[in-house]
Structures are given as structure tokens and as C-alpha cells.
Structure 1
Amino acid sequence: MSRRLPSTPPNLPGFAFVSVLGSGGFADVYLYEQNMPRRLVAVKVLLAEVVTDDLRQMFQAEANLMAQLSSHPSILTVYQASVAADGRPYLVMEYCSASLGQRYRAVQLPLAEVLSVGVRIASAVETAHRQGVLHRDIKPSNILTTAYGHPVLSDFGIAATLGEAESSDAVGLSIPWSAPEVLHDEVSGTVASEVWSLGATVYSLLAGRSPFEVPGGDNGSGALMARIDRAKLAPTGRTDVPKSLEQVLARSMSRRPSDRQANALEFIRDLQSVEEELGLTQTPIEVAVDDWALATAVDVEERTRVSGVHGTGDAGRRRRRPRTAPRSAALPGADSRADDLGMSGSRTSRPGSRRLAWGVSLVSVALVVLVGVGAYAVIQGARSIPVVTDVQGTATDGGVTFSWNDPGLQTADAYVVTVDDEMLPPQREASITVTAGDGDRVCASVAVTRDGRSGASSAERCVDVSVAVDQGS
């Protein structure tokens, strides 16, 4: 199919046309210079010949969705949307000079960069999901790079709300990164299919090709769809990619949606676990806190941490190499606003200061009440989380295996195991094996985490490897 020529750029008040950036099936993207404030921007313009009421509504939905989500650091920022004098709707967006779609086939991307990009883009997807929005076209070419090298997710053009996705008509899709159930028109998009696309995208960035593409083979639509349907994923072919990461990607692209990570957040935690395994600084999770009062009552760092900073432990326990734990970003909107609020510098007393003091006092009381309500919600939520009560420990050749019975996990729940005061990454398996040497005393406890909160920990179980005697503490 021949590529069409871009349409004539529209005359937009306050903007000066610079060049053409690209063309798609329904729109062209141009580089403009905005007069005030002066900056380069990308302007996406709907084609005049395809403008219909339905397409106009889709375009407006994209503008609204991206504006709703673009405060996220890994989602492309939208500045404004309007209709040009010639009747074509347009969208003014942050200008990004490159996309990963241009890089990953040309050069081998560093493993650390790919893991970081994966965490950041999955954070953007998780944020969208929490607001009821599916992207439905996650792929390398839709990951742009800002002037400061930060990856951002773009093009929500075929996005749909989670509820609409189950019943919406067929939409455009990108076969190499689409889940089998989407290719079979069983669904137009779900959280599970987005997890597949996230895994396929990370795989592509590592391998330099899409997951089921055969170098030098038949990579037409039919052949690709047949391979995707079988879901027999080949390794990335890179010697620096650990087996654990290959397993994370294989799980995300399982044929059965229920076998994949339950959501984008679980996929993020799996990538962070690989970063920790490789000794890399963990990329922080960028997911907005749902309720500020709840965030005040619960340490935000604990909500986003995969591996906690552990203490020195008892003298009789093993000494483990400290692992890097991510420092959580500040709460959204928690950056300093002193100047904006007129609070910088000293103030003299004014006649209205007493009324102001009363107002501040009332606000303070309200804040205390809200924080108390949040704390109560946390306590009540924690009480509903099941508790592990039967941790058993057995010394094995070169290690210790701890196991327990399922206390009633729900789909998105996970176990958080603490071994010798070190919190390990969340897991779904009801057992874990840790390395230990002769003379070591290894202690572990288990808690269940649900919706970012952890329940009560089990009683600590300790195993003395030297005599292989199990004793509860």
C-alpha cells in the first residue's frame, strides 16, 4: 500500500508551522512553534476527508482522555484542543523528537534502560486503568522520548473505557503486540490484554523485533497471528537477559489471560524484582495515590516498595548484603507551593488575622478528622486481609524452604515474605527457598498484601541449619 502525502497544514492562530512530523490513517502530525509561551509543539490534525461525527467524537475522546491523564510523568502532555478555521479538529501536544520505535530495531538497547522504560510505561498504563481507561495500542512506536530522555506513552486514539471495551465495535490494532483474544475478536481490550501488550513491548525492546517475528521468515499478518495464537514464545536471544526476566515476559504473554500477571502493577513488581536481582537501582512506581488521607495514614514508601530496607537483625542470624530499595516519589501535588500561596517571607499582624487563625484552626480540625477516617479505613481494610498462621521451615541441601497453606488469597493478592528482616518481592506461590550455609539461622514471616496494604504478619518461623531443627519463635 502506497503511503499518502500529508495534507496541507492548517493556519492556527498563535502557532507557526515548521515541518511535517508524520502521517497516519486518520490524522497528520505537524511541528509548530507556539508564539506564547514560545515553544515547539506537536499538532495532530484530523484529515478533512475522513471527518465524520463518529470520528470527531473519537478525536474529542482522545483529547479528553489524554488531558485527563497527561499529568502523569510517563504520559504525553496535551496542551489544548480545538477546531481549525477549515473545520479540522486538532490537538496540541508536547513535542518529542524521537520514539523507541525508531531505536530498538537499529541498536541494542541496554538492559537497564529497557527495564526502566518497562516500569515507567506500565506505571502509566496502571494509572490509566485505575481511571477506567484502556489504551489498546501499546507498542514501541507509541513510546516517545522527551527532550530529557524520559519515555512517555502517546496515542490514546483507540482507547476505550473499561466498560465500553467489552461491547465496542472492532478497532484498529497492531497485530505483533496484540493478545490472542483481541485478534480473535473475543474482546476489543481488557486489563489482561494490556498486560500482554506490555510484555510484548518490553520483549521487542530487548530483542530488536516483535515477539513472534521470525527473522528472514514469513512475517505477514496471517503467519504472525498463527504464531501468536500458539503463544510459544522463543527467548529474546540476548545473553545478558536473565532467565527470570524471560519467565516474566513469557508469563505476561501466556495464551490464557488468567495465567498472566493480574494487572500492570504486578507486571511492574516483576520487573523491579529483576532489577533487584541484577543489582540495579529499582525504578520507582509512578502510580497516583487514590486518596490523600489514606496516603497520609499509610507510609507511601511502603505502598510502592518491592524490597524494604532491612535492619541488622539478631546476632545469631545471617548477614545479608543490603539491597537497594526505591525511594518513593512525593505525593502528587505535594511539591512546595509556598510562593504560590503567598506564604514566603514574614507577615505583620492584620485586623483579619484572628479570623484567619480561626479558619486555619477549623481546617486543621477537618484535616485531623479526615486523616482519622483514613486511618480507620486502613485498619478496617487490614482486618479483612487473611493471615497466614502455619509457616513451616525445613533445612534442605544448601538452603531453607519455608511453606504455608493458602489462607484465602483473592485474584490480585500476593504474599510478602520477610526473611531475616529483609522484605522480598511479592509472590503468589505458597513457599519460598532461600540459600543458607552451615551454621546459619534463618527466620521468616509471611503477610498477605491486598490493594497496596499488608495484613498482619505470621508468627516468625526460624530454622537452624547447623542442626536442622525447626523451632517457632
Structure 2
Amino acid sequence: MTHDHPADFEEIARRFSHLRQVLNQSSPETRDMLVDRVRDALDRGEARLSNADPEIVANSFVLEALVHDGSAIQVYRARHRDLGTLHAIKMPRPDHADDPVLRKLMLREAEIGMALRHPHTAATQTVLRLADGRPALVMEWIGSRLAGLLQERPLSLGEVTSVMTSVLSGLEAIHAAGFVHCDLSPLNLLADGDLSRLKIADFGIALRPGCRHDEFDLAFAAPPDFASPEQMAGQPLDERSDLYSAGCLLSLLLSHYDGESDGTEALQALANRLSRQVPQDRPENARAALHLLGGSAKRPVVGA
């Protein structure tokens, strides 16, 4: 080791001595939190100096393809090296490794995703800590988004009903767990061909009922075409905000139906009811909307 900058080492030693004093004087809970933050900082520094292969995560997952490259978040398709299973891995971009707000939001999203286990919600399987301290959410891999499928071909009326049944069933589970999704759109609906097994994904801006996004420093990121009026206005949200988005989705799906059927009028009437401007004018909850969908699929609804 060279001694080109002894003053730097003296300053480092002084700071670590001060840190040790703080740790010794802290409660066990505070001490654990501070120690973890120090480890995070050391991880980030070490990773910038190491020659580790960034294409392998936690010595277990091979990053095969970058499938989403956003301003702050990246999503990769990854394969487990031993099991051969496919997964989606979501992580902050490397230039956001030191962003404490983003880290907090991602861990919050992981807690929500891991608390939900339902056939129509995409599962978060675990959370990893990358070599540079970034959190990485490991999720089930579902290859296609509904947004892409809608560009490929028209839908049958049965497929429209299947999508909405999946969506409303998933929303019922999300609401029962005590959350409002707040970001329902074709971009966050995943399916591998079979639309009856479609799943709701991305809980990054989900809220507890009665909360606003600005209470949690959450960015408003929902597509304006699907966000409820109360969400656009920054008001407290409840489950009926998601039902508004579901109504907008149903209208979009019907625009991709290329046949003729009396059932389209009933479904469009349901879409209109779900997406009414005033929350009190919408169905009470997702279960009620599912009941209305079942009736709409069988017969026209007049005056809805």
C-alpha cells in the first residue's frame, strides 16, 4: 500500500471512529439500520472497482436480454443458471444506484408484489441485492404485454370477456389485500398467449385506499388515458379508481373487436358505467363489476 495521501487516510480513520461512537451509543434497531447503510455504501464502492461480470446476478441469474430500458428502471429477461427457469429482473439503472427514494419505492413494490398470490397477479418471487447495492426484484417471466398483442390481431368477443374477467378478478385480489393498483393499462397486463390467464403487473405506484400519491413522494406515472379523474386531480383514491381504468380498458378492447354482436352493446354499456366521472356512480367494487360482466356477456344491458 502506498502513502501518497496520508491526510486522506487520516480523515477516513477519523470518520470511521466517529461512526463507531455513533453505533455504540445507538439503540439496537438504529445500529442495525446504520450498519446496513454502511454495507450498502461499501458495496457500491467495491462494485465500481471490481471486474465482476455484470451479466450474472447473484451468481445465479444470467441476464439474457434487456426488455425495458426506462429513465430510472431496467427490466431484464433472466435465466436461472441451475434450474433453467426464466424470470423477469427489475432493477434501478446503474446511474441511479445511489438514489435512496427509488430504492425505497422498489422495496415497497416488492413487499406488495410478494404479499399477493393470485392467478391473475404477476408474482414477485424474491428481492436480491446487487453487487453495487441496488435492489433487484425477481419476478415470474410472462413474455407478452397486452399492448403488444392488441397490435397483432383483432379480438373475438370471447377474448374481450376473458381479458376483463382476468382483470377484474385480479383487481378483486389486489383490493382485498388493501391496495389500489393505480396503474392499470395494457402495458401492465401480461399474458403468454392465453388471455384467460392474463396477469396484472407493476405495483410501483400502488396506494392504500384513502391515500394520495404526494403523501409518499410517489411520482404520478399512470397513462392519462386510463387514470381516473380523481387520480389526475391528486385526490385520495379507493378501489373505484381502478374500476374507472378497467372501464377505459374495456372500451379499448371493444375497439379491437372486428365482428358484430348484440353483446358489444352490453359490454360498451358496462364500460361506460365503470368509467363514469364520479366514483359513486361506478360499481361498488370489483366483485360487483364481475357480476355485471357476467350478465353483460349473456344479454344486452339497457340504460346502464
Give the TM-score of the pair, scaled to structure 2: 0.74
Which residue of the other structure, out of 111, 117, 129, is the alignment partner of 1:64?
111
Task: Compute the displacement of 1:14 (Å).
Answer: 1.0
Task: Compute the displacement of 1:9 (Å).
Answer: 5.0
Q: Which amino acid aligns with 1:45?
A: M
1:158 equivalent in alignment to 2:205: yes
Which residue of the other structure, out of 135, 151, 168, is the alignment partner of 1:122?
168
| Contact 1:9–1:30 (CA under 8 A) maintained in structure 2 | no
Which residue of the other structure, out of 231, 234, 237, is the alignment partner of 1:185?
234
1:33 equivalent in alignment to 2:79: yes
1:54 equivalent in alignment to 2:88: no
| Contact 2:125–2:139 (CA under 8 A) maintained in structure 1 | yes
Local SS of the residue matching 1:120: helix
CA distance in 2, matches of 1:137, 1:156: 8
1:146 equivalent in alignment to 2:192: yes
- Number of aligned positions between the proteins: 244
CA distance in 2, matches of 1:53, 1:267: 39
1:244 equivalent in alignment to 2:266: yes
| Contact 2:55–2:62 (CA under 8 A) maintained in structure 1 | no
Which residue of the other structure, out of 143, 151, 171, is the alignment partner of 1:105?
151
Identical-pair percentage: 25
1:276 equivalent in alignment to 2:268: no
CA distance in 1, matches of 2:137, 2:213: 27
CA distance in 1, matches of 2:258, 2:64: 42
CA distance in 1, matches of 2:79, 2:264: 45
CA distance in 1, matches of 2:192, 2:149: 14
| Contact 2:87–2:140 (CA under 8 A) maintained in structure 1 | yes
Structure 2: 5+ residue runs without aligned partners? 1-53
Give the TM-score of the pair, scaled to structure 1: 0.48
2:225 maps to: 176
CA distance in 1, matches of 2:247, 2:84: 38
Q: Tell me the C-alpha RMSD between the 2 structures.
A: 2.4
Which residue of the other structure, out of 239, 242, 259, is the alignment partner of 2:281?
259
CA distance in 2, matches of 1:147, 1:256: 35
Task: Compute the displacement of 1:250 (Å).
Answer: 0.6
2:249 maps to: 201
Local SS of the residue matching 1:156: coil
Structure 1: 5+ residue runs without aligned partners? 1-7, 209-235, 279-424, 430-473
Q: Which amino acid aligns with 1:181?
A: E
Local SS of the residue matching 1:164: coil
* 1:216-250 deviation digits (Å, cap 9, x = unpaired): xxxxxxxxxxxxxxxxxxxx896334322111111
CA distance in 2, matches of 1:160, 1:96: 24
| Contact 1:76–1:93 (CA under 8 A) maintained in structure 2 | yes
- Structure ranking higher on relative contact order (CA contacts 8 Å, 6+ apart): 2
Q: Which structure has more helix as a fraction of its residues? A: 2
Task: Compute the displacement of 1:26 (Å).
Answer: 2.3
